[in-house]
């Protein structure tokens, strides 16, 4: 959640930054109205409280001097009722502002480039050059069918569209990739954790998926439990509503989970193949850090994800997201896009974000900063999306006859 104190202190500056992210002007105006209503409610309460304090002092003087306190007592009692009413109005206005603020995205960092959508993102650099094929490269669904690695029709039979079943080497490669990624991240200092695939509403509110993206989530009937859209949710919320010792930070974690998304907002996109599935495997990086640590750790997490692709010999590029393409909770994001020769384009395979205090404020994750408690910075990133990595291997390591080679670093995981 955005810092309401900062909002109240300098509304115009904060609203200008939110408008860079495409927040609707009416929503910002509503936020301003709620903010002004709260300030007025606080002022009314403080005025009444000041009057009460003044009358209380006067009451003491009257009693010492033996004056009749009847009329003054009636005024004090009447003012007490007004204070109670004013305090309730202030509470309601505070709640209304906080409820509205839950639907407001994070403020983008000042160095995030302005832009409307993904077309305005800025390339940082390319890593590895795409291979030149002496034949026309096939797309992954053709290769999957030819090699018997992935069966999309059986996925539909078992569930519905955008589900798939992996067989043989396809299934073994998925497992090999998961183990390789976890081992790689662990060697970079990220502790491996295993978390539930179901979380409660508070966890999803803490990381910003709720209330905005409820239509994209799978919810358990009759329970306030949801299938996770990413391991970021349970891993970040491991420390929900806790105050951490300063010397424990940074806390760097990695986790493998299955992830579940309805992709309600993606109708018609990537309906064929494994690029956009309702269930997919992903290895995630999550870090809780002190504010002064987060920029360095952000760079470290981007490098870690990129280095996995380099180890797999997969060409990719790093891209800074513009304000219009930035996620709800993110203050700054670098996407990593892998080269897919079958499509002759780069496609997102990892997204690494620094959310600053935004998620920590919602999830109440703090640390002991000297004598006071401060919010941590939370960071998260895919390292990597397993299905898309498998797609990239299939397309980049294909041969003219449709067979697929195996990256050297995965051979030990396959017993080759």
pLDDT in tens, the chain (416 residues): 888 888 878 888 999 999 999 998 889 889 889 989 999 999 999 999 999 888 888 877 877 777 887 888 888 889 999 999 999 999 999 999 989 999 999 999 999 999 999 999 999 999 999 999 999 999 999 999 999 999 999 999 999 999 999 999 999 999 999 999 999 999 999 999 999 999 999 999 999 999 999 999 999 999 999 999 999 999 999 999 999 999 999 999 999 999 999 975 455 556 678 888 999 999 999 999 999 999 999 999 999 999 999 999 999 999 999 999 999 999 999 999 999 999 999 999 999 999 999 999 999 999 998 889 999 999 999 999 999 999 999 999 999 999 999 999 999 999 98
| Spatial distance between the Cα atoms of 57 and 51, rounded to a whole number of angstroms | 10
Active site residue: 145, 188, 348, 374, which one? 348
Give the residue numbers of the binding site for ATP.
261-263, 348-351
Q: Is 276 a catalytic residue?
A: yes
Question: Percentages helix, strand, coil for the chain, rounded to the nearest 5?
Answer: 50, 20, 30
Q: Is 261 a catalytic residue?
A: yes
User: By the 8 A CB rule, do 119 and 20 touch?
Assistant: no
Active site residue: 351, 357, 361, 383, which one? 351
Active site residue: 139, 294, 388, 395, which one? 388
Give the residue numbers of the binding site.
230-232, 261-263, 284, 348-351, 380, 382
Domain 4-101 has CATH 3.40.718.10: no
* Residues of each domain in the chain carrying CATH 1.10.287.40: 4-101
Q: Is 351 a catalytic residue?
A: yes
Domain 118-414, what fold? BirA Bifunctional Protein; domain 2 (3.30.930)
Give the residue numbers of the binding site for L-serine.
230-232, 261, 284, 380, 382
- Cα first-last separation, the chain: 49
Active site residue: 201, 276, 317, 347, which one? 276
Q: What is the Cβ-side half-sphere exposure of residue 329, based on CA atoms within 13 angstroms? A: 31
* Residues of each domain in the chain carrying CATH 3.30.930.10: 118-414
Active site residue: 261, 356, 361, 366, which one? 261
- Helix, strand, or coil (residue 8): helix
| Spatial distance between the Cα atoms of 188 and 211, rounded to a whole number of angstroms | 34
Q: Is 294 a catalytic residue?
A: no
């Amino acid at each position: 959640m955005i810092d309401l104190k900062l909002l109240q202190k300098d509304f115009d500056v904060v609203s200008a930054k939110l408008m860079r992210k495409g927040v609707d002007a009416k929503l910002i105006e509503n936020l301003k109205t709620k903010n002004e209503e709260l300030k007025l409610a606080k002022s009314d309460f403080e005025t009444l409280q000041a009057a009460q304090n003044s009358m209380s002092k006067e009451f003491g003087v009257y009693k010492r001097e033996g004056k009749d306190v009847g009329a003054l007592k009636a005024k004090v009692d009447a003012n007490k009722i007004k204070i109670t009413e004013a305090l309730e109005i202030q509470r309601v206005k505070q709640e209304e502002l906080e409820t509205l603020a839950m639907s407001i995205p994070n403020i983008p960092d000042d160095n995030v480039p302005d832009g409307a959508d993904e077309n305005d993102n800025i390339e940082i650099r390319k890593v590895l050059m795409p291979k030149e094929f002496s034949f026309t490269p096939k797309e992954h669904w053709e290769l999957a069918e030819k090699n018997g690695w992935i069966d999309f029709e059986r996925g539909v039979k078992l569930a519905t569209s955008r589900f798939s079943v992996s067989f043989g080497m396809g299934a073994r490669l998925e497992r090999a990739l998961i183990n390789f990624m976890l081992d790689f991240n662990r060697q970079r200092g990220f502790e491996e954790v295993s978390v539930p695939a179901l979380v409660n509403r508070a966890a999803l509110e803490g990381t910003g998926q709720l209330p905005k993206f409820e239509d994209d989530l799978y919810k358990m009937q009759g329970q306030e439990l949801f299938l996770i859209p990413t391991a970021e949710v349970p891993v970040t919320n491991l420390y929900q509503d806790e105050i951490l010792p300063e010397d424990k930070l940074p806390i760097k974690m990695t986790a493998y989970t299955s992830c579940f998304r309805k992709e309600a907002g993606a109708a018609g996109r990537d309906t064929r193949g494994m690029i956009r599935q309702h269930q997919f495997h992903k290895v995630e990086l999550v870090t809780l850090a002190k504010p002064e640590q987060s920029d360095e750790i952000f760079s470290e997490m981007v490098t870690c994800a990129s280095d996995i692709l380099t180890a797999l010999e997969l060409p990719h590029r790093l891209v800074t997201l513009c304000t219009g393409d930035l996620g709800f909770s993110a203050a700054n994001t670098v996407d990593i896009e892998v080269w897919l020769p079958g499509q002759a384009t780069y496609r997102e395979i990892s997204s690494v974000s620094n959310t600053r205090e935004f998620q920590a404020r919602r999830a109440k994750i703090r640390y002991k900063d000297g004598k006071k408690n401060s919010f941590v910075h939370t960071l998260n990133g895919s390292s990597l999306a397993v299905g898309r990595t498998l797609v990239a291997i299939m397309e980049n390591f294909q041969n003219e006859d449709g067979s697929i080679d195996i990256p050297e670093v995965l051979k030990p995981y396959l017993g080759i």
